[in-house]
Chains A and B, each alone.
Chain A
Amino acid sequence: MDPHASRYAKQILFHGIGAEGQVRLGQASVLVAGCGALGTALVEGLVRAGVGRVRLVDRDFVDLSNLQRQVLFDEDDVARGLPKAVAAANKLGRINHEVTVEPLVTDIGPDNVLALFQGMDLVLDGLDNFETRFLLNDASLETGIPWIYAGCLGAHGQTMPVIPGQTACLRCLIESPPDPGTADTCDTAGIIQPILSAITALQLVNAFKLLVGRGDEIEPVLTLVDVWDNSHRKLRLGTAQERQSCPACGLGQRDWLKGERVARSSVLCGRNAVQISPAERLRLSLDDLATRLAPVGTVLQNAFLLRLEPTGTDYQITLFPDGRAIIKGTEDPVVARSVYARYVGA
């Protein structure tokens, strides 16, 4: 057997995939939005299965607190301060060199989300925040490209496929994400790895069905799983007629895509950190910044980012060339903006 057929032999044997399904997987392109706990498990599944092309987008870098649940990362990635998309792509290339992996270290926003969707057959939610999920929902409805929502907290997780024109969308389910500070996060409630395995498994199965041309076998439900209680429930999502009143898929509103609902700072789940994004994407010289910041504290620099630990503070500021900063040591966006202004300049 040739190496290609041998690699996928067990999957081709499975009745739901087969030889034709494997060919279709190899021709498919998938965007994985976010490369944390959900995203690493998703992208590993896609790459092992032989999906042709994977675009992997993440704004963050690998931290020691990620290793408890984020597969693909290791202590060496932490020591090197690698961006998650880059660290993941390094591993994925060793798992399956046949797959084209396109790692992108950037924040997903209204200005770039449509470009990220371009050429993709499917988008998988590997995110850690509500805002970007509602943005994905808008972009999916706008482009007609399906996406699969997922979220996890504690031992609980949820997932729901969104196929524009066929199923309910995220706003059919929930009109508005909770206000900041009103919902639990991974910091307040914690999270355990098994729920991520359970939820990403369900996402991947729906992804396979869609990519091999068996989308009609996808159940249009919100699935709710709690691995601690061993509970599993499905919520049926109503009729097309009922969806006519949905602001997004019924009435055509694109509040996140228009930027009307997108803030410029966001709390990073589980990290005791806030990301600050300037109004425009910048092109900073990390070398110049390193020189300028050297007297301020300890500076670590690599090709992708610069990290500053200002002397006498508990903050750690990680700066990216596009002007974004991750301020570690606070969950208050106001404090973070102040720190940003002090060391980076506003």
Chain B
Amino acid sequence: MQIQVNGEAIEVEPGRSIAKLLVQLQKQARYLAVERNGLLVPRSRHGEVALVEGDAIEIVTLVGGG
């Protein structure tokens, strides 16, 4: 199935968890926030939230300048 990650379409297996998506993308969960359809998914739920067709995922990292 297809989902959007930071505005780009990617293919993932149906029902894949956010935790597994991050592994697929080689991202480390502790350094980022995951937003699904406009809502933060807490890290404690990354393993249980299953992605569905058309989900819009944003991977957000902090910026430190200023």
B-binding residues in A (CB < 8 A): 34, 36-39, 125-130, 133, 150-153, 156-158, 168, 172-178, 182-186, 189, 191, 196, 222, 224, 233-238, 242-243, 245-246, 269-270
Most B-side CB within 10 Å, residue of A129, A172, A178: A178
- Chain A residues within an 8 Å CB radius of B24: none
Q: B26 interface residue, CB < 8 Å from A? A: no
Contact of B64 among A175, A183, A224 (CB under 8 A): A183
Taking a contact as CB atoms under 8 Å apart, the answer to whether A245 and B31 are in contact is: no
Taking a contact as CB atoms under 8 Å apart, the answer to whether A236 and B66 are in contact is: no
Smallest CB separation, A130 vs chain B (Å): 5
Enumerate 20 A-B pairs (CB-CB under 8 Å) in ascending A order. A34-B66, A37-B65, A126-B66, A158-B60, A173-B62, A174-B33, A174-B61, A174-B62, A183-B62, A183-B64, A224-B60, A234-B38, A235-B35, A236-B38, A238-B40, A242-B44, A245-B43, A246-B42, A269-B65, A269-B66
- Chain B residues within an 8 Å CB radius of A242: 42, 44-45
Smallest CB separation, A143 vs chain B (Å): 22
Measured in the bound complex, the distance between the Cα atoms of B65 and A223 in whole Å is 16
Taking a contact as CB atoms under 8 Å apart, the answer to whether B32 and A174 are in contact is: yes
Contact of B63 among A151, A173, A235 (CB under 8 A): A151
Q: B25 interface residue, CB < 8 Å from A? A: no
With A174-B31, A178-B31 known to touch, is A245 a contact of B42 (CB < 8 Å)?
A: yes
Most A-side CB within 10 Å, residue of B32, B64, B65: B65
With A238-B40, A245-B44 known to touch, is A173 a contact of B33 (CB < 8 Å)?
A: yes
Smallest CB separation, B59 vs chain A (Å): 11
B27-63 interface bits toward A, Cβ cutoff 8 Å, 1 = contact, 0 = none: 0011111010011111111000000000000101111
Measured in the bound complex, the distance between the Cα atoms of B65 and A278 in whole Å is 24
With A126-B66, A152-B65, A186-B65 known to touch, is A175 a contact of B43 (CB < 8 Å)?
A: yes
Taking a contact as CB atoms under 8 Å apart, the answer to whether B40 and A237 are in contact is: yes
- Chain B residues within an 8 Å CB radius of A224: 60
Measured in the bound complex, the distance between the Cα atoms of B40 and A327 in whole Å is 40
Taking a contact as CB atoms under 8 Å apart, the answer to whether B66 and A36 are in contact is: yes
Taking a contact as CB atoms under 8 Å apart, the answer to whether B62 and A235 are in contact is: no
Taking a contact as CB atoms under 8 Å apart, the answer to whether A158 and B62 are in contact is: yes
Most A-side CB within 10 Å, residue of B30, B33, B58: B33
Given contacts A172-B40, A222-B40, 17 further A-B contacts (CB under 8 A): A34-B66, A128-B66, A129-B64, A130-B62, A130-B64, A151-B65, A152-B65, A158-B62, A174-B30, A174-B32, A183-B61, A196-B66, A238-B40, A238-B41, A245-B42, A269-B64, A270-B65
Name A134's closest neighbour in chain B (CB-CB): B62
Name B39's closest neighbour in chain A (CB-CB): A236
- Chain A residues within an 8 Å CB radius of B42: 172, 238, 242-243, 245-246
Taking a contact as CB atoms under 8 Å apart, the answer to whether B63 and A125 are in contact is: no
Smallest CB separation, B27 vs chain A (Å): 12
Taking a contact as CB atoms under 8 Å apart, the answer to whether B31 and A235 are in contact is: no
Taking a contact as CB atoms under 8 Å apart, the answer to whether A151 and B39 are in contact is: no
Name A150's closest neighbour in chain B (CB-CB): B66
